[in-house]
Amino acid sequence: MVPSTQSEEFGCEDPRVTLFNDTYYVTYTAYSRRGPRIALASTTNFRDFVRLGLVGPDQDDKDCVIFPERIRGKIAVLHRLDSKIQIAYFESFESLADSRNYWSRYVKHFDDYEVLKPKFPWEERKVGVGSPPIKTDRGWLVIYHGVSLDRVYRAGALLLDLEQPRKIIARTKEPILEPVMNFEKKGVVPNVVFPDGAIVLNGELLCYYGGADRVCCVAAAPIDEFLIQMESAAT
């Protein structure tokens, strides 16, 4: 995928991929002189993509991910407005792609949809979703990023209630990943670990992230041990 519209004139960035039924949905940041906006595409083979266009409000918004199944009958997405993580619900992907009236009402009361805002020093400047939610027997696992006042990007983790994902079951007090390697400290943008994807494979949680906006990286941990430690150390 390459920029193809005026809303993408400065680039297509930070894609997140969710398998929903038999289709992969890709949310990404469309950058233009108007600022970042949420865009959506779909594919079944990663060769041919259907672009569904901008799907968020007409204001700076990014870090959008889709839950991999319906929640109480609706499609749910997490995104970031005003340096906070928000949630939104839609009847269908068609309504998500044609949601101008929905967002005009939503932004007037967006505090009602807040999931997470900065709380700890390592995320004091802003927070944003990293990976699409992973369903576990303990809740929805979401890896997110936080930015400190000195602009260091770190990663944390959330467990959200399976039926009411605005409810936080657990939240890590300390980051689970932070720049310590040379390739995370030095690059296009220094001191950055930026998670965009995560999967569970053979009992391992694999978190894929960008290092200093220059290289692609992966970190691994046993998923059961990770969840137990996360809950024991969480707020």
Report in angstroms the alpha-carbon separations of 151 from 174, 179, 191.
Answer: 16, 12, 8
Q: What token pair was written down for 50?
A: 């259907």
Measure the CA–CA gap between 39 and 15, rounded to whole angstroms. Answer: 9
Q: Counting every residue, how long is the chain?
A: 235
Segments in the chain below pLDDT 70? 233-235
Measure the CA–CA gap between 148 and 108, rounded to whole angstroms. Answer: 28
Per residue in 31-57, pLDDT (tens digit) is 999 999 999 999 999 999 999 999 988
Determine if residue 203 is left, alpha or beta; phi over 0 gives left, psi from -120 to 50 gives alpha, anything else beta: left
Helix, strand, or coil here: 114?
strand
Whether the pTM exceeds 0.85: the reply is yes
User: Are the CB atoms for 37 and 30 separated by under 8 Å?
Assistant: yes
| Domains detected in the chain | 1-117 (2.115.10.20), 120-235 (2.115.10.20)
pLDDT of residue 94: 86
User: Are the CB atoms for 160 and 169 separated by under 8 Å?
Assistant: yes
Q: What token pair was written down for 39?
A: 């865009």
**CA atoms within 13 Å, Cβ hemisphere of 54:** 22
Q: What is the dihedral of CA 214, 220, 226, 227, to 10 degrees?
A: 80
pLDDT of residue 234: 58
**From the centroid of its chain, how far is CA 165?**
14
**CA atoms within 13 Å, Cβ hemisphere of 203:** 3
